[in-house]
Structure 1
Amino acid sequence: MVKHADVGWDKWRVFMADERLVPLGHGDCNYKGYKEGLVGSVPLAAEHIYPINPSLSVEAAAEDYTQKLKQVFSEDVPVFDMVLLGMGPDGHTASLFPGHKLLQERTLLVAPISDSPKPPPNRVTLTLKVLNRARCAVFVCTGESKAANVKVVLEGNEQDNPLPAALVQPLDGELHWYLDSAAASQLSQQ
């Protein structure tokens, strides 16, 4: 069993794969969950969790977050040890939605999205360029509402129009999916 002291929390830096452009204390804010769930529970300093700046426009917030990445990472494209992702019932991951133009983004590290099909419309997201450089990408999916698209992503042949979650394929890393029984209910082999 690993004890909290053995983890090396002083080396951890937590960035958001995506974030809604809402105040940091808002119930829909990803940062709020990480801050409340980690800080105080483990010896992770609050300043090692990097929020977006919700007081900026969505475009400026994306650029500001890009600068935060560049301050921490020495590579041109950050290489995360791990990215923790979920998948929505529509197959989206981070704030990368099916059929959205951001799926074709090849230049930006962090992209603004002002037309999210899921409220709120203004968000900031890491792009596939960054997600696919991770050493390890981990998906955690729960619930029956995701079962059909879990099957499509893990067993389907959707080469012409893959769901965003299927596009997360770390180039030199690992990919892991953790599912509850409801999310895995339509898979051929469980």
Structure 2
Amino acid sequence: YEQVLRAAFRREQPRFDLILLGIGDNGHTASMFPGCACLRESERLVCAQYVESQHEWRLTFTRPLINAAGAVWLLADGAGKAGILADVFGDAYQPDVWPIQYVAPHAGDYEWWLDRAAAAQLPDA
């Protein structure tokens, strides 16, 4: 899959215009789960891993590919996401615990799209 991406973009660092992500109940995003080896990948664009908690193999974009995007939008909705969002925004930088904290586009736009229920435990901005 990485070869397909490199061929399609025809540049050293492929760059999507927009990547849409969600956040899981454990802080994972893009199939990058807490403590997984793919979190530390700094060269490859795509990583395959077995996710024990899900009992399945996952293929995921890595930080270099996600953070090269022109824009990254993260979508979260529902009261079930309120606690995890409060932890992610409230805790110190711990990306191995909260993989979503690794998302930091280098030159792109980064926006969170939350409904009221998901944002209920966040401090007022």
Please report the TM-score for the alignment, with normalisation by the length of structure 1: 0.61
Which sections of structure 2, spanning at least 5 residues, go unmatched? none
Aligned residue number for residue 88 of structure 2 = 153
Amino acid at match of 1:93: T
The answer to whether the 8 Å contact 2:35/2:97 transfers is no
Inter-partner Cα distance in structure 1 for 2:12 and 2:51: 28
Aligned residue number for residue 123 of structure 1 = 58
CA apart distance, 1:81: 0.7
Aligned residue number for residue 110 of structure 2 = 175
With over 3 angstroms needed to count, the CA separation of the structure-2 counterparts of 1:161 and 1:109, relative to structure 1, is closer
Which sections of structure 1, spanning at least 5 residues, go unmatched? 1-64
Aligned residue number for residue 59 of structure 1 = none
As a proportion of its length, which structure holds more strand?
2
Amino acid at match of 1:103: L
Amino acid at match of 1:109: L
Query: Which secondary structure state, in structure 2, belongs to the residue aligned with residue 178 of structure 1?
Result: strand
Highest RCO, 1 vs 2 (Cα 8 Å, sep ≥ 6): 2
**Which residues in structure 2 correspond to 1:127-146 (within 5 Å)?**
127-146=62-81
**Which residues in structure 2 correspond to 1:28-177 (within 5 Å)?**
65-119=1-55, 121-159=56-94, 161-177=96-112
Inter-partner Cα distance in structure 1 for 2:108 and 2:74: 14
Aligned length: 125
**Which residues in structure 2 correspond to 1:13-32 (within 5 Å)?**
none
Across the aligned residues of Structure 1 and Structure 2, the Cα RMSD in angstroms comes to 1.7
Query: Which secondary structure state, in structure 2, belongs to the residue aligned with residue 97 of structure 1?
Result: coil
Please report the TM-score for the alignment, with normalisation by the length of structure 2: 0.90
CA displacement, residues 22-81 of structure 1 (integer Å, 9 cap, x when unaligned): xxxxxxxxxxxxxxxxxxxxxxxxxxxxxxxxxxxxxxxxxxx11210121022221111
With over 3 angstroms needed to count, the CA separation of the structure-2 counterparts of 1:79 and 1:116, relative to structure 1, is farther
The answer to whether the 8 Å contact 2:23/2:100 transfers is yes
Inter-partner Cα distance in structure 2 for 1:106 and 1:157: 22
CA apart distance, 1:115: 2.8
Inter-partner Cα distance in structure 1 for 2:4 and 2:70: 20
Inter-partner Cα distance in structure 2 for 1:71 and 1:142: 35
With over 3 angstroms needed to count, the CA separation of the structure-2 counterparts of 1:184 and 1:105, relative to structure 1, is same
1:187 to 110, 122, 125: 122
Inter-partner Cα distance in structure 1 for 2:102 and 2:82: 18
